[in-house]
Amino acid sequence: MRKPRLFTPGPTPVPEHVLLRMAEPIIHHRHAEFIALMERVNRHLQTLFCTTQPVLTLTASGTGAAEAAMTTLFKEGEKGININNGKFAERWGKMMKTFGMTAIDVEIPWGNAIETEQLRDVLKQHPDASSVWLVHSETSTGTYTNICEMARTVRETLPNALVCIDGITSIGAHECRMDEWDIDVVMTGSQKGLMIPPGLAFVALSERAWQKAASFKSRNFYFDLKKAREAWQEHSTPWTPAVSLVCGLAPALEMMMEEGIENIWHRHATLSRGLRSGFEALNLKLYGTSPSHAVSVAYLPEKGGKDFVKLLKKDLGITVIGGQDQLKDVIFRTSHLGYYDEADMLGALGAMEHALHRIGHEFEAGKGVYAAQRVFLEAARR
């Protein structure tokens, strides 16, 4: 027997008591008990986003949150700079084109993050751009972008451009201080750091962004954030929300509030460091130059690497995920976003040692878990 364990960057595992909360009889979304629940949820989401602005809850995937922000804030013909360093970043560029925006796709080699100077140069070339889109944690490559620094660079160079952050796999993993860092749009999804199933997306806009939105008529309906903000004032949503998911969100957020968001960021940093140390100790080459704390990426072993992911799932109960496009059969991605602790990392590394042994990869048995554990103990001593 092997317990099934999910190490995918969304859906991520849902705590058992959250699952059971969602299995309670359904309640009506216009009644007092749901409104009280939503009030608490809304408050906790603001803490999570480090903002005093409303964090709006949409019934959609994270892509819906991006669409909501884009169509609420930008008209046809507006120019958006899209920092494209992976599959998800690529999607926002396509979305801009669909909605008639001029997308300036700045291609950054996969596995890398844009640097300050590079961004400044791009901004200077496009002084008419009204937005800059950045992916905080690019899930397709496990790449972290320094949003604090990039937001400051945009604000210095193009003071009026809106800084739009895909925080889909960063919120709850990486420090993201929306108000303090002067970010205009932050969005995330439910099945990531928030530890509940997919189906909800969240988005917050800055005062600057709301003012821009107010300056023209909405060109969307379901994703009209102006309408969503009105409903938010009454702890409600314009359309029927995914009630059971909101009921799960409440205890998930309470767990997060109890742990404290700075501790959550720290936990993710430690898990990421431990797992990557384990990979290196197992002679697995790390991928990328700027690792995300949400998902750790390594090259598949040259010998038998194609079987590695399958073997892990089939015989060892561990679901990790391969690469996409040019990274197919090249890398594997192990998520530790959300409901994970050190024991999960040790367990995953232990299973990986089994699988690596089977495919004939060369490494010293036990060294992966040893390396990770040393990182964890060291982190605890600080």
By the criterion CB under 8 A, which residues form the site for a second copy? Answer: 4, 6, 8, 10-14, 19-20, 22-31, 59-64, 67, 94-95, 98-99, 189, 191, 197-199, 218-224, 239-245, 319, 321
* Contacting residues for 83 by C-beta, under 8 A, at least 6 apart: 89, 106, 108, 114, 119, 132, 133, 134, 135, 145, 150
Pair 167, 192: CB distance under 8 Å: no
* Nearer residue to a second copy within complex by CB, 25 or 360: 25
DSSP-derived secondary structure for 62-78: HHHHHHHHHHHH--TT-
Tokens of 152: 């400051």
* Nearer residue to a second copy within complex by CB, 285 or 310: 310
* Nearer residue to a second copy within complex by CB, 194 or 281: 194
Containing 356, the helix (H) or strand (E) segment is helix 342-358
- What does the alpha-carbon distance between residue 196 and residue 188 come to, in Å, rounded to a whole number? 12
- What does the alpha-carbon distance between residue 171 and residue 380 come to, in Å, rounded to a whole number? 23
* Minimum distance, C-beta of residue 194 to a second copy, in the bound complex (Å): 12
* Nearer residue to a second copy within complex by CB, 70 or 256: 70
**Shortest CA distance to 174 belongs to which of 201, 134, 206, 210?**
134
* Nearer residue to a second copy within complex by CB, 27 or 269: 27
**Shortest CA distance to 269 belongs to which of 207, 328, 345?**
345
Strands 331-335 and 295-299, bridge-based pairing: antiparallel
Pair 361, 302: CB distance under 8 Å: no
- What does the alpha-carbon distance between residue 53 and residue 179 come to, in Å, rounded to a whole number? 8
* Minimum distance, C-beta of residue 244 to a second copy, in the bound complex (Å): 4
* Minimum distance, C-beta of residue 191 to a second copy, in the bound complex (Å): 6
* Minimum distance, C-beta of residue 354 to a second copy, in the bound complex (Å): 21
Strands 200-205 and 137-138, bridge-based pairing: unpaired
* Nearer residue to a second copy within complex by CB, 137 or 290: 137
* Nearer residue to a second copy within complex by CB, 301 or 338: 338
